[in-house]
Every structure is written in C-alpha cells, then in structure tokens.
Structure 1
Amino acid sequence: MHILIVIGSIMMFLAVAIGAFGAHALKPKLTPEMLKIYETGVQYHLIHGLGIILTAVIGIVLPSASGLATAAGWCLLGGIVLFSGSLYVLSLSGIRKLGAITPLGGLLFIAGWIVLVIAAVQA
C-alpha cells in the first residue's frame, strides 16, 4: 500500500512539472489544438495521480479491500502511462497514430475505478 502513496506522489509531482513545462515552454511552440491535447493529458494525469493515492488510503483504512484497492491503483497508473503519455507524445510529435493508444489508457482508468468500487462494496 505504501508503494502506491509513493507512486501517486511521484505522479502528482510529474503532472505539475509537465503541466508547468507545457504552460511556459511549450505554449508558444504548439498549435492551439496540440496544446489542448497536451493539457488534457495533464488534467487526467493530475486526477488519476490523486486517485492512486486514494487507492492506497482505502487499502489502509479498509484492510479487507487492500488487494482490490492495490489492483485499482495499478490500473490507474497504467492509465496515466497510456492515456496521458500518448497525449503528451502526440502533442509534441504530431504523430496522430499514437491516438490509437489513448483509449487503452482510458479503459484502464475505467477499470481502476470499477475495481475500486468493488473493493469498497466488498469491504
């Protein structure tokens, strides 16, 4: 459980740093469309970084839910990597085919939240 707090905190640090980089260094270099894509990646990164921390806290507070809460946290991490990561690379490279990876990250986000619901209901 504690590893998810560390990972979630690292994800939050990265989201803030990546967001600041986009706002200050990339804003003049990206088209408005690509900047919006980048900002969407940052937004989902931030939300799900907090979600990872939440899964760890739920696993600690509800020990009977810790296994599923941990699984939910790993799903959210995978979602950040695939969803936000693909949007970052797409916006910086312009390679539109990378957009095909984004929905897989979205599915991992959805799976993580569903698994967390199951964990809470079963606890």
Structure 2
Amino acid sequence: MKSKIMAMAAFLGMLTIILGAFGAHALKEKLDAESMQSFETGVRYMMYHVLAVLLIQNSALLTEKVKNKISLLFFTGIIFFSGSIFVIALDLIPAGAIWFVTPLGGLFFILGWLMAGITFFKSGDKNRK
C-alpha cells in the first residue's frame, strides 16, 4: 500500500507543477486577478499536502494504518479543496453550486493534521520510556 500512496503523491506532485505552469502561463491573460489568486492558492495547498503525504509515509513514529488514514485525508482534501478552487477559478461550475466543497476539503486537511499531531504526541511519550 505504501508504494501506491507514494506513487499517487508523486503523480499529484507532477500534476501540481503542470497546473502551476498552466496557471502562470496559459491563464495569466484569461483570468482576473482574484481568480488567478484563487487558482494559485489551490496549487499551493495541493503541493503542501503532496509533500506532507511524502513526509507522513516516511515517518517512523506512525503505524502503517495511521499513515494511510492521514494520507487518505490529505488526498481527499486535495480533491475537494484544490479541485473545487480550480473548477470555480476556471468558471467551469458556478461557485454558488459548489460553495460547500472547498471548506469540506479544508476540513479533511484539518482532520489529517489533527490526526498526525495527536499521533505524534502520543508516540513521543512511548519513545521516551
């Protein structure tokens, strides 16, 4: 499972670079400043969480089960948070129709970080004994 999660993170990392370049070059003249800023936020948060998955998967302080749960939360957050921002910024679907998806993605990010923090905190106590 770890190799599949790491492969998915690598693929999403590549996609993040492609989307960033697409935004910087192809969309620069087509989007207004606010939409461009939103698109860049989606790219930025996507990359943060791709890197977080790679770090989480290589942590010796977490069990494989916890690593997989955190990674799944982050992947889901990427799809919902960044994905909805891309769709809204590109005006593919009216923002009013999917306004709830972006904060839901943010909630998945928060839950992933919360799970990581609690698990790291608990594992630190076990490692000191």
Fold shared, TM-score > 0.5 on shorter chain: yes
Where is the helix percentage greater, Structure 1 or Structure 2? 1
| Map of 1:100 onto structure 2 | 100
- Contact (CA 8 Å) 1:83, 1:103: kept in 2 or not? yes
SS for the counterpart of 1:28 is coil
| Map of 1:86 onto structure 2 | 84
Q: CA deviation at 1:16?
A: 0.7
| Map of 2:110 onto structure 1 | 110
Off by >3 Å, runs of 4+ in structure 1: none
Per-residue CA distance 1:1-26 (angstroms, 9 max, x = gap) = 22221111111111110010010001
Q: CA deviation at 1:69?
A: 1.7
Alignment of 1:9-24 (within 5 A): 9-24=10-25
CA-atom RMSD in angstroms: 1.4
CA distance in 2, matches of 1:117, 1:2: 23
How many residue pairs get aligned? The number is 120
Q: TM-score, normalised by structure 2?
A: 0.86
| Map of 2:57 onto structure 1 | 56
Q: Computing the radius of gyration over CA atoms, which structure comes out larger, 1 or 2?
A: 2
Q: CA deviation at 1:121?
A: 2.9
| Map of 1:71 onto structure 2 | 69
- Contact (CA 8 Å) 1:8, 1:53: kept in 2 or not? yes
Q: CA deviation at 1:109?
A: 0.2
Identity of aligned residues (%): 34
Using the TM superposition, name which of 19-28 and 49-58 deviates more: 49-58
Q: Which runs of 5+ in 1 are unaligned?
A: none
CA distance in 1, matches of 2:7, 2:122: 25
Letter in 2 for 1:82: F
Q: CA deviation at 1:68?
A: 1.1
